[in-house]
Amino acid sequence: MRLLVVEDDPSIAGPLRTGLTREGFDVEIAATAEEALAADIPDLVLLDLGLPDLDGRVVCREMRARSSVPIIIVTARGDEVERVTLLEAGADDFMVKPYGFRELVARIRAVLRRVTATSTATTEPSSIGPLHLDPKSRRVERDGVAVALTPREFDLLIYLATDPNAVFSRDQIIHDVWDENWWGSTKTLDVHVASLRKKIGAEMIETVRGVGFRLVDPGP
Ligand code: CA
């Protein structure tokens, strides 16, 4: 697994490279946003928000526009508003500084596991109304046009698509699509549903009040 660590502070980047390499990852360091955006797309990006040349959120959006690579953001600011902004920028998870190395490795493995699990769960492409889903290549099209989703948005869509028109409860979705001890707030789900609707069409996901959500299959 190739990791791109975007970190301008050599006193952090150095030990990270050593530690993550020892964990079996292939680690590349980028010290600036420019370097990060010029690097080959890895299997996962660990992105520091405070970079010398560009705001990390801009880097996150830029990477997200190009690929669905999982992105874990590292931030010194941990308040709730900031978290929502980060998720909206396309991050999959985040770590608040200072964090423990073991926790970081656990988060990296959890994100990679989730991406791998959902991409192998169902591999057959399917069409639901105007949407075409290809789980294997993790591509989604609407009316033949590619839609750029974050890994988590993709996981959520594929999950709902396992049973089109069926209602999934909020608890069910959070349990199955999110890691159980991650981030807690059900607001996370709403943020992802809202951004997914923006990308695939608001009419595709229906809110079932007091219960949860369903993916609408208008049929042939
Ligand atoms: Ca920094």
Task: Among 101, 119, 137, identify where a domain stops.
Answer: 119
Domain that holds residue 97: 2-119
Cα of 179 from ligand 1 centre, angstroms: 27
Cα of 50 from ligand 1 centre, angstroms: 4
131: pLDDT strictly greater than 70: yes
Cα of 12 from ligand 1 centre, angstroms: 9
Establish if 220 belongs to a structural domain.
no
Indicate the number of domains in the chain.
Answer: 2
Q: Which amino acid is at 68?
A: S
Same-domain check for residues 7 and 110: yes
- Confirm if 135 and 123 have CB atoms less than 8 A apart: yes
Residue 172 is predicted with a pLDDT of 80
Establish if 29 belongs to a structural domain.
yes
Cα of 56 from ligand 1 centre, angstroms: 9
H/E segment holding residue 34: helix 33-38
* Structure tokens belonging to residue 10: 């050599």
Which of 9-18, 71-80, 168-177 is the most confident on average?
A: 9-18
Which tens digit of pLDDT belongs to each residue from 166-183? Answer: 898 887 888 778 765 555
Cα of 152 from ligand 1 centre, angstroms: 25
Same-domain check for residues 165 and 200: yes
Same-domain check for residues 131 and 99: no
- Confirm if 174 and 186 have CB atoms less than 8 A apart: yes
Task: Among 119, 144, 171, identify where a domain stops.
Answer: 119
| Omega of the bond leading into 98 within 30 degrees of 0 (cis) | yes
Of the listed ranges 24-28, 167-171, 190-194, the one predicted with least confidence: 167-171
- Confirm if 105 and 44 have CB atoms less than 8 A apart: no
What CATH number does the domain containing 27 carry?
3.40.50.2300
